[in-house]
Structure 1
Amino acid sequence: MLKQFFILCSGADTDILNDCSMGEQNKYAGIGATVFFTAVMATIAASYALFTVFDNLYASLFFGVIWGLLIFNLDRYIVSTIKKRDNILDEILQATPRLFLALIIAIVISKPLELKIFEKEINQVLLEQKNDLTLANQNQIAEQFNPKIATLESEISGLNAQVDLKEAEVNALYDTYISEAEGTAGTNLFGKGPVYKEKRDKHDAGLAELQQLKSDTKTKIEAIETQKATLQADYASNVETSQPIIDNFDGLMARITALGELPWLPSFFIFLLFLAIETSPIIAKLLAPKGEFDYKLEDQETAIKTWSMQKIAERKLLLKTDNTINNRVYNEIADEEEVMNYKRKHARTLMQNQADAFLKQQKGIL
C-alpha cells in the first residue's frame, strides 16, 4: 500500500509499472518517496515562515499545507516529464529547465528552515539591532526636544546669575556699612554716624530688592521648570510610544536580513542539502539506464504516434485520390452534348429573367 502511494507520487504510469519487475517498481517508489518528503519539508518550512508573518498557528498551517501541495505537484510534474532518450545530450537539454526550477524550489524551501535552525543566533543579532535602533530612536527624538530644554535651562541660569549678581552687590554694601561702623573704611570714624546710616539704608534697600528679586526669580524658575518637565514628559512619551515598533522588529524580512549577518558557510551547506534532495529524482532518472518501464512506455507512445501518423497519411492520400478522380470525371463530361444543351437552356432562362427584372426596374423609375 505504501509502495503504491509512493509510485503514485512519482508520476509514473501505474498500469505500465504494475507489469514491470519489482526492481523497477522499487526504483519509482524511491523517487516518489523523495517527492513526497520534499513536499513535507516544504509544508514545515512554509508554515514556520508564515507563522512569523501572521503569528497565527491555524492560518500558518493552512497556507503551509497549500504551499506543500503546490511543491508536491511541481516536483511530481518535473519528475514525470523526464523521459529517457537514446542520446544523453537530449536528456540533459530536457532536464536543464527542470533543474533550474528545482534550484528555485530548493532555495524557497531551505530559507525558512535556516531561519528556524539558526533562530537563537538570529535572535541575538536582532537584539543587537534593536538596541542600536533604540539608541538611534532616542537620539532622534531628543534632537526635537533638547534645543528647547537647553533654552529653558539657559533662561534658568540667566535668572540665577542675576540673583547672584544682586546678592554680591548687597554683600558689598553690607561690608561697606560694617566697615564704616568699625572705622576701617570710609570716614575712618568709629561709630554709627550719618554716613553709616546712609550706607545702612542703601544696604537695606538693596537687601529688599534682593528678596523681591529672589521671589520673582523663584516664580519664573518654577514656571520654566514646569515647561521643562512637560518637554521631558513628552520626550519620554514619544520614546515609549515608538518603542513597541522597535520591539516588534522581528518579522520575516528582518530575520532574513539578520541571517545574512551570520557566517554564510553553515547556511550554504543547508541549502546544498535541500538542493540535493530536490534534484535527486531528476539526477537519478538521468543517471539510471533505460529500464523495463522506459521501454514499455516508449513502445506505447510510439505505437500511438505511429497510428496517428498513419491515419494522417491515409487522409492526405484519400484527399489526393478523390481530387484526381473528380478532375477526371469533370474533364470527361465537359464535352458531352447533353450537358451543353442543359446548361444552354438554363442560361437562356436566367438571361430572360434578368432582362425582365431590368425592364421592370426602369418602368418604376419613369
Structure 2
Amino acid sequence: MKRIGDFFLFCSGAHVPLLRRAPTETNKYGGIGATIFFTGLLAAFSGGYALWCVFGQLWSTLLFGAIWGLMIFNLDRYIVSGMKKRNKFSSEFLIALPRIVLAILIAIVISKPLELQVFGKEIRQELIIMEQQVFKTQEENVLSRYQHRMNELNGEITLLEKGIQTQALRRDTLQKIAREEADGTGGSKVKNLGPIYKAKKADADSAEIALQRVTLENGALIAGKRKELAGIDSTFKATLAQLDRTHIDGLASQLDALGHLTEKSTPVRWANWFITILFITIETAPVFVKLISARGPYDDLLEAHEHAFIIYRKEKIEKREREYEGRMMVVR
C-alpha cells in the first residue's frame, strides 16, 4: 500500500520530500494523483480503441494507447503541478482558467471513442442504414447516366407497337365491314357476294397486307431497340458490380452515425451529453480540487522553498555584480 501511495503522490506532481514534512497533506495529494492516473488510464483505453477502429491492428493499438495515455497523464500532471495556491481566489482562478479549458478539450477528445463503444450496438444498426442509403445513392447516380436513353428507346418501342396495333385495328374493322356486307347484317343490308362485298373485301385484304408489312418493319425496329436496351441493362449491371460495396465502419463513419443517433433520439442525446460531462468532470477534478482546497502546510513550505531560491539567486547576481565592479575599478 505504501508503494501505491508513493506512486499516487508522484502522479500528483507534488514535491515529495517537501510533502513528507507536511503529512496532513498526503491524503489530498494522493487523491489528486489517483485522479490523474485513472484519467491517463481512460485516455489510453480511449486512444487505443480509436486506433483499433481505424487500423484494426493489435500491436499498433496497444502501442498508440500506451503513448496516448502517457501523454495525457504527463499533461495532467504538469497542469496540476504548475498551479500554486495564492492568497486570492480570483487570481488563482484566472491562472487556472487556461488549464481548465485545456482539461475540457482533453476530456472531449478522450470521451468520444469510449462513447462509440458504449453505443456500439446502436451505431452498428445506424451504419447499416447509412450503407443502404449510400448504395441506393450510388445506384441512382449510375442509373441517371442511362435513364434518358432508356426512356427514349422505350418511347420509340411504344410508338412502333402502337403503329402495329393501329393497323391491326384498321384491318379488323375492314374485315368486319366486309363480313357484315356478306351476311346482310350491315352495309346494303342485302345478303350477297356482289360487287360491293368484293370492294370491301379488297379493302380488308389490302389492310391485311399493310399490317403484315408494318408488323415486319416495326418488328425489326423493335427487336433492334430491345437489343440496345438489353445492352444498356448489361452495362448498367456491370457498372453496379464495380461499385465500392465495402462496409462503412471507420472512425469517421461511426462518429457520423453517433451524430445521427443523437439527432433522432432524445435519450441517446442526453446519455451522450452525460458521458461527455462525466469525462469533463473527471479530467477537471484535479484542477478544481487544487483550486478550491484551502492553503495548507505544503503550500507554505513550497512558497518558502521557492522564496529561498529567489533570494539565493538575487544574492548570487548581486555578488557577481560586485565582483564585476571591483574588476572594473582595478582596470581603471
The offset of 1:74, in angstroms, is 0.6
Partner residue of 2:284 out of 279, 286, 298: 279
Deviation digits for residues 298-349 of structure 1 (CA, Å, limit 9, x no counterpart): 333222221221111122223334444554xxxxxxxxxxxxxxxxxxxxxx
Greater CA drift, 127-136 or 162-171: 127-136
SS in 1 for 2:211: helix
Which region of structure 1 is more displaced relative to structure 2, 180-189 or 295-304?
A: 180-189
State the Cα distance separating 1:133 from its structure 2 match: 4.1
Matched with 2:18 is 16
1:49 aligns with 2:50: yes
Which letter maps to 2:323?
L
Using the alignment, how far apart are the partners of 2:59 and 2:232 within structure 1? Answer: 46
State the partner residue of 2:274.
269
- The residue type paired with residue 265 of structure 1 is W
User: What does the per-residue CA deviation read over 1:12-67, in whole Å, with 9 as the maximum and x for residues that have no partner?
Assistant: 2233334542x433332222211111011111112222222223343333222221
The question of 1:306 aligning with 2:274 is answered no
* In 2: Cα distance, 1:62 partner to 1:221 partner: 67
In the superposition, the TM-score normalised over structure 2's length comes to 0.84
Counterpart residue type for residue 11 of structure 1: G
Structure 2 distance, partners of 1:50, 1:76, is 24
Tell me, in whole angstroms, the C-alpha distance in 2 between the residues paired with 1:240 and 1:293. Answer: 71
C-alpha distance in 2, partners of 1:326/1:204? 141
TM-superposed CA distance for 1:101, in Å, is 1.2
One-letter amino acid of the structure 1 residue matched with residue 92 of structure 2: E
- C-alpha displacement of 1:229: 2.6
1:163 is displaced (CA, Å) by 0.9
Greater relative contact order (CA < 8 Å, ≥ 6 in sequence):
2
Q: What is the root-mean-square deviation of aligned Cα atoms in Å?
A: 2.9
Matches within 5 A, 1:282-301: 282-301=287-306
More divergent stretch after superposition (160-169 vs 91-100) = 91-100
In structure 1, distance between residues paired with 2:301 and 2:182: 134
Q: Which moved more, 1:34-43 or 1:180-189?
A: 180-189
| Range 183-192 or range 104-113, more displaced | 183-192
Q: Matched residue pairs, number? A: 324
The corresponding residue for 1:84 is 85
Instruction: Give distance in 1, aligned partners of 2:224 and 2:57.
Output: 51
Instruction: Please list, as runs of the form range in 1=range in 2, the aligned pairs for 1:1-366 lying within 5 A after superposition.
Output: 1-21=3-23, 23-183=24-184, 190-193=191-194, 196-197=197-198, 199-242=200-243, 244=245, 247-248=247-248, 250-261=249-260, 262=262, 263=266, 264-324=269-329, 326-327=331-332
- Is the partner of 1:244 in helix, strand or coil? coil
C-alpha displacement of 1:6: 1.9
2:135–2:245 Cα contact (<8 Å) kept: no
Matched AA of 1:296:
L
